[in-house]
Structure 1
Amino acid sequence: MKQLQKIFLQGLVTFLPIALTIYIIYAGVSIVDSILGDALRQVMPVYIPGLGFLLTIVLIFFLGFLLNNLLAAGLFHKLEQKMTQVPLFKAVYSPLRDLMNMFSKSGGPGGAMQTVVLVDIAESGIRAMGLVTRESFSDIPAIQAQANDHVSVYIPMSYGLGGFTLLVPRNRITPIDIPIERAMSLAITGWVKADKHEGDK
C-alpha cells in the first residue's frame, strides 16, 4: 500500500506542474486571441483559431516599432498625458503602466527592478531577500527630500503574489549574484526546491 502511495505521489508531483503550465499557457493564449478574435469573427466569414493571437502579437511589435521613433513616441506621450487626466482611466492605467515599467529595463526615472539583494533586518542578524525597484526618487520630490541615500526594495511573499516595499539604507543591503527569475522562484516557493534543481541558474 505504501509503495502504491509513493508511486502515485511521484506521478502527481510530475503531472501537476506540467498540467498547470500547459493550462496557464493555453488560457493566456486564449485571452490574447479573444482581444482581436471577437472583432474578427464579426467581419470574417470563416475565422481561423489563433488569428486574433497572431494579429495581437503583430500589433504589439508594430506599436513597439512606432515608439522607437522619436516623433511617434512624443505624440504617444502627449496622448498619454491627455488620457491620464481622465480620473477613471488614470486609476486603472497608471498603476498598470508603472507595474510594466518596473519589470522593464527601460523603466521610468526610478530605474528597473534589476538587482537582487539581501536586506539586514535591524540588528537581529536576520536577512530577507528582496529586489531593488528604485535607486532614485527624482520624480517624487516629497520622497526625494526624505530619501537620504535610501533605495526601495520589494520583498516578495512566499506562496503568493503579494509582497511589501521598504525604503532601506544602502549600507543595509548586499547585492547577490542571482537572476531575478530565480530569486522570485525561490521567494514564491518559500525556498523549497527539489534537489535535482538545486544547481539550476
Structure 2
Amino acid sequence: MQQPFTYKRLLQYFLQGLLILAPIAITFWTIAAVFGFIDGILPNLIHSIVPRIMEDAQGNIKRIPGVGFVLVISLVLLVGYVSSSYIFTKIVEVFDGVLEKTPGIKFVYSTLKDFFEAFAGEKKKFTNNVLANVDDNDVWRIGFITQDDMREFGFKDYVAVYIPMAYSVAGNLYIIPKSRVKPITNISAAQSMKFAVSGGVTQVIEPLGKDVFTHTK
C-alpha cells in the first residue's frame, strides 16, 4: 500500500534531490568561475594597456569566449616547457633574485612562491603525511611535516606540522616534539589530505584489509 503524501516525505525528496544536484552544481560553478577568471586575464590586461583596442561601441571590453583561456594556458605550458633550458633558468634566477631583494615586493613574492612550491614542483612540502599529537593527549590529527628541523627557532628534536582544516583551504601550523608525530604509511599524502579536508567522510581504501593508519614511533 502506497504511503500517503506528507510534508515529511516532501522534505525527504527535497534533501535527496539536493544531495544529488548540489555537488554537480557546485563543481560546474567552480569550473565556470575558474574558466571565466582565466579567460578574462588577457582581455583585461590588453584593455589596461591599450583601452581603445579592446572596447566596443558601448565602451565594454571585447571578449571572444575561450580565446583568452586558450592563450593563457598555452603561455603557462610554454613557460613550463622551456623552463628546463639553461638560458631560461638563468633569466628566471636573475629575475627571482631582483624580486627577492626588492623592499616591499620580496615579502609578497617569496610568500607566494613558497606557497605554490609547497603544492607543486620539486620542492613540494605536503608529501610527508603524519598523525600529530598536538595537544599532548590521546587525540591525533592528520597533518604534514613541512620542516623536520626547528633548531633555528631554538627547539631541538621538534618538527613543524601543518594541520589542514575540514571543508576549508586554511590550516594551522604547529611546532611539536618529534616523539608526538607518527608517520602514516598505508595511504598516500593526497589521500590523507582528502580525508582531512572532507572531515573524515571520504572513504579511504584499505590495502589488503590492513588498518588505514599504520604508525610507528
TM-score, normalization: structure 2? 0.75
Query: Which sections of structure 1, spanning at least 5 residues, go unmatched?
Result: none
Find the residue that maps to 1:160 and give its secondary structure: coil
CA contact (8 A) 1:105 1:114 kept: no
Q: What is the CA distance between 1:44 and its match in structure 2?
A: 10
Distance in 2 (CA, whole Å) between partners of 1:153 and 1:191 is: 19
**Distance in structure 1 (CA, Å) of the matches to 2:149 and 2:83:** 24
Corresponding residue to 1:10 among 7, 16, 20 = 16
In structure 1, give the amino acid aligned to 2:181.
I
Q: 1:171 aligns with which of 165, 173, 179?
A: 179
Q: Distance in 2 between matches of 1:198 and 1:98?
A: 29
Q: For residue 135 of structure 1, what is the aligned residue in structure 2?
A: 148
**What's the CA shift string for 1:130-169, capped at 9, x where partnerless?**
01222357xxx834xx342332210112233222112233
In the alignment, is the contact (CA less than 8 A) between 1:116 and 1:130 conserved in 2? yes
Contact 2:131 2:143 in 1 (8 A): yes
Q: Aligned equivalents of 2:105 and 2:136: distance in 1?
A: 44
Distance 1:2 1:51 in 2: 49
Moved over 6 A (4+): 43-46
Deviations 1:64-92 (A, max 9, x none): 12221133112211111112333332232
1:69 partner letter = S
Cα deviations across residues 25-79 of structure 1 (Å, max 9, x unaligned)? 1110111111113356736998531111111111111111222113311221111
Matches within 5 A, 1:157-168: 157-168=165-176
Matches for 1:77-88 after TM superposition, within 5 Å: 77-88=93-104
Q: What is the one-letter code of the residue matched to 1:118? A: L
**SS of residue paired to 1:192:** coil
Q: Secondary structure at the match of 2:13?
A: helix
Q: Which protein has the larger Cα radius of gyration, Structure 1 or Structure 2?
A: 2
Which residue type is aligned with residue 102 of structure 1? A
On the 8 A contact 1:37/1:53 being kept in 2, the answer is no
Residue in structure 2 matched with residue 69 of structure 1 by the alignment: 85
The partner residue of 1:155 within 146, 150, 163 is 163
What percentage of residue pairs aligned between the two structures are identical?
A: 29
Task: Provide TM-score, normalisation by structure 1.
Answer: 0.80
Residue 36 of structure 1 aligns with which residue? 42
Counterparts in 2 of 1:38 and 1:96: CA distance versus 1, 3 Å: same
Match of 2:190 in 1: 181
**Equivalent pair of 1:37/1:51 in contact (CA under 8 Å):** no
How many residue pairs match? The answer is 190
Residue of structure 2 equivalent to 1:103:
119
Flag structure 2 segments of 5+ consecutive residues without an equivalent: 1-6, 48-52, 57-61, 208-217
Distance in 2 (CA, whole Å) between partners of 1:53 and 1:83 is 27
- Say what the alpha-carbon RMSD is for the aligned residues: 2.8
Instruction: Kindly report which structure 2 residues correspond to 1:121-132, keeping only aligned pairs within 5 A, or say none.
Output: 121=134, 123-132=136-145
